[in-house]
A and B are shown apart, each in its own frame.
Chain A
Amino acid sequence: MVHLSSLLLKKYHGGYVVIRLAMAGHKQANRPFYRIVAAHNKRARDSKYIEQLGTYDPLPNIYNEKLVSFNFDRIKYWIGCGAHPTKPVAKLLGLAGLFPLHPMTITDAERRRAQAELSAAAGAESEEQTEKPAEV
């Protein structure tokens, strides 16, 4: 019998391994679910990967949590072998603690906080303005 996997192993010229999110929803509409996966750069997002290293569920559950799982041992191995994590994976790993916090996470949080303060201040001002005419 012909050893089929040797026929399917593709050689990539100048390709590298990435750690990225691959959609794993079995084509359910409006219900995404991601696998954290080590794959070749040139492969399609959902196609054959080298190894699965975790999961990420973007929709919050009944306790308002978004569940993430990591196989830290294997992630360390792959990064040691020269894999590149993508931006969302780097952000998740930063929140998990393996990596330092991503700058954009901090920046986005600061922006949101500034926005929230601005809207709170605007809300307080509009409340005062509505109160003043009411008093007067």
Chain B
Amino acid sequence: MFHVIGRRSAPVTRLLASRGGVLVESVRGRKSRGDPVAKSKEGRIKVPPPVDPREMVVLKDRYTEYQLILKALRLEFREEVLRKKFEEETGSLAEERARQDAEEHRALMLWNQEENLRLLKARVLRVQKEEEEAERLKLEAVMKLEQQQQEFIKLKEKQVLQLQEEAKNFITMENLDQRIEEALDHPKNYNFAVDKEGRVVRKTVLQ
């Protein structure tokens, strides 16, 4: 009984049939091919609706006439649609519009070209300026580097001279005896006394 279900808009509810407990979906066309006929419909013979022959003749005439008129109407409407389309595409107004569009396009392209030129000039200037800036900065950097190097050299030279100056007072193996003699001959007294007023007294008890 799981019949193919046609299109349904309402949700399907499942019911248990009273006979044999078979699952049935409450949807139109519940009976499938092998299901037996219902008791109430056992002797039923399906008869098509009765047709009155006179009415049928009249009806046939009416139908032919109706179909004729409808065909004519359809052709009329088709022609109208085609004509509208034709007018739209190749009518006089369409030509005007096309011409105006072309004009507009040309004008806009010209304007665009001018804009491009203007921007090009601006860009060239800007790029030039930037290049010059870059050059200047590079030169400055180089100069700075040189300057730093120079300063470094000078510093080192000064230090070397300083050292040379101090080297004259160094004690070497040759000076050793001489300097010892000198130091022993001239004892130096580093003691002193200071007052709150700032009077310095260097003369002390010599030892």
The answer to whether A and B belong to the same complex is yes
Interface residues of A, Cβ cutoff 8 Å to B: 44-46, 76-77, 79-82, 99-100, 102-103, 106-107
Q: Which residues of B sit under 8 angstroms from A46, Cβ to Cβ?
A: 9
Q: Which residues of A sit under 8 angstroms from B70, Cβ to Cβ?
A: 99-100
Assess whether B81 is in contact with A77, with CB atoms less than 8 Å apart.
yes
Assess whether A81 is in contact with B62, with CB atoms less than 8 Å apart.
no
Q: What is the distance, in angstroms, from A86's C-beta to the closest C-beta of chain B?
A: 13
How many Å lie between the Cα of A100 and that of B73 in the bound state? 10
Q: Which residues of B sit under 8 angstroms from A76, Cβ to Cβ?
A: 77, 80-81
Interface residues of B, Cβ cutoff 8 Å to A: 7, 9, 55, 58-59, 62-63, 65-66, 69-70, 73-74, 77-82
Q: What is the distance, in angstroms, from A40's C-beta to the closest C-beta of chain B?
A: 14
Beyond A76-B77, A80-B78, A100-B66, 9 additional pairs, beta carbon < 8 A: A44-B9, A77-B77, A80-B74, A80-B80, A99-B73, A106-B62, A107-B55, A107-B58, A107-B62
Name which residue of chain A comes closest to B78, CB basis. Answer: A80
| 23 sampled A-B residue pairs with Cβ under 8 A | A44-B9, A45-B9, A46-B9, A76-B77, A77-B77, A79-B73, A79-B77, A80-B74, A80-B77, A80-B79, A80-B80, A81-B78, A82-B78, A99-B69, A99-B70, A99-B73, A102-B66, A103-B59, A103-B62, A103-B66, A106-B62, A107-B55, A107-B62
Name which residue of chain A comes closest to B70, CB basis. Answer: A99
Q: Known contacts A44-B7, A46-B9, A100-B69; is A79 also within 8 Å of B63 by CB?
A: no
Q: Which residues of A sit under 8 angstroms from B69, Cβ to Cβ?
A: 99-100
Q: What is the distance, in angstroms, from B57's C-beta to the closest C-beta of chain A?
A: 12
Q: What is the distance, in angstroms, from B111's C-beta to the closest C-beta of chain A?
A: 32
